[in-house]
Amino acid sequence: MDAGDDEPPVLLDRASRATRGKRISKLLEDEIEQDEAFWNQDALKDEEDDDNYEEEQDAGDEFDSDFNEDESEPDDEPEKEERERLPIKKRLMFPGKTLRKATNAKKKKGIPKLEDDAKAGKPSPSTQPDVPDEFETEKIIRKSTRTSVIVRQAEREAIQIMNLRNLERVLAREEEVKKKAVVHKDTYDGPTIRFFSRDGESRLEFINGASFGSELSTTSAPYPEKSVCVVTGLPAIYRDPKTGLPYATMEAFKIIRESFLKEEADRKRPSMSNMGELFESIAGEHSMPKKRRVEVRSPSISGGGLRHGGRFRRIPALDMVDED
């Protein structure tokens, strides 16, 4: 102990008052009077001639005959077997850390005593080294979660920047496409007529030189003339798609087609007859001297040779023969 602790306490001198302690003494007297009045009530007084009341004697504590005997050890064996049969739980292993081997022996069961109650509050030495391990695991988990959160946040920011750039590119392309796809429609500035219908009234408005007489004609149009069949003279019902001539009956249609085929055949014949003149003009330019044109007709083919000679039949033509 220090020397300062042995010194007597210092008391402060106060001036005496005439009214010191009057209030406290008065309060104490009031409390004593109230206490006496409460306990001196008739209901709380003991009756002297109370025969019905009997005092109960305290019964002694009763114990079983086997209270002091220890429990038999065979009862603990099934509990031990059940504990041994329980599956071993797997623990989470973090990187850079190894499990510590348990070196403590199994505890023996005994009768609980009063002294053990005080020791029960203190942590056992077997559980003390596990506490820092749990703290270390929590620290490692917190560090890993913090790093994972930071990494995810960085990835999100990078993805957000990429998405913004892609969006800008897409918008720029859309604007270019819109500029190219703009179509300037031609507007009509000529004479027009507008029709208005409001409040049960209809009216026409002529704009840009349009007039009632020029746009709305009052004269009736003449009826179209009816077509007449070329062959029979009857009113025509049909029209030939090739010639465009109207006809009324099937016989008239056949006559129109026969005449059409004859005309086509006549057109083709002069072209075949003029082949000789064309050949002469071509041969005259590139002909050799001392040559003469001679007409030679193909010999008549007998009936027996028609089948074989029909394929090699010669068409009348002009042959060049040397004068020699």
> What is the pLDDT, as a whole number, of residue 93?
64
**Is the pLDDT score of 28 beyond 80?**
yes
> What is the pLDDT, as a whole number, of residue 8?
66
Give the Cα separation of 264 and 259 in Å (integer): 9
* pLDDT category of residue 275 using cuts at 50, 70 and 90: low
**Is the pLDDT score of 111 beyond 90?**
no
Section 307-313 average pLDDT: 43
Residue 310 DSSP code: S
β-bridge mates for residue 288, sequence order: none
Section 117-144 average pLDDT: 56
> What is the pLDDT, as a whole number, of residue 258?
92
90 CB burial (10 A radius; 0-12, 13-18, 19+)? exposed
**Is the pLDDT score of 131 beyond 70?**
no
> What is the pLDDT, as a whole number, of residue 251?
92
Supply the mean pLDDT for the chain.
69
Give the Cα separation of 133 and 167 in Å (integer): 50
For residues 259-286, one letter each, b for 16 or more C-beta atoms within 10 angstroms of the residue's C-beta and e for the rest, the string is: eeeeeeeeeeeeeeeeeeeeeeeeeeee
Section 82-97 average pLDDT: 62
**Is the pLDDT score of 286 beyond 50?**
no
**Predicted confidence (pLDDT) per residue in 35-89, tens digit:** 888 888 777 666 655 555 555 565 566 666 666 555 555 555 556 666 666 666 6
> What is the pLDDT, as a whole number, of residue 207?
82
Residue 109 DSSP code: P
Every domain of the chain and the residues it spans = 137-176, 227-287
Q: Which two tokens stand for residue 259?
A: 């005449």
Q: Which two tokens stand for residue 69?
A: 């005997």
| Residues above pLDDT 90, as percent of the chain | 9
Under 8 Å between Cβ of 210 and 193 = yes
Helix (H) or strand (E) holding 106: none
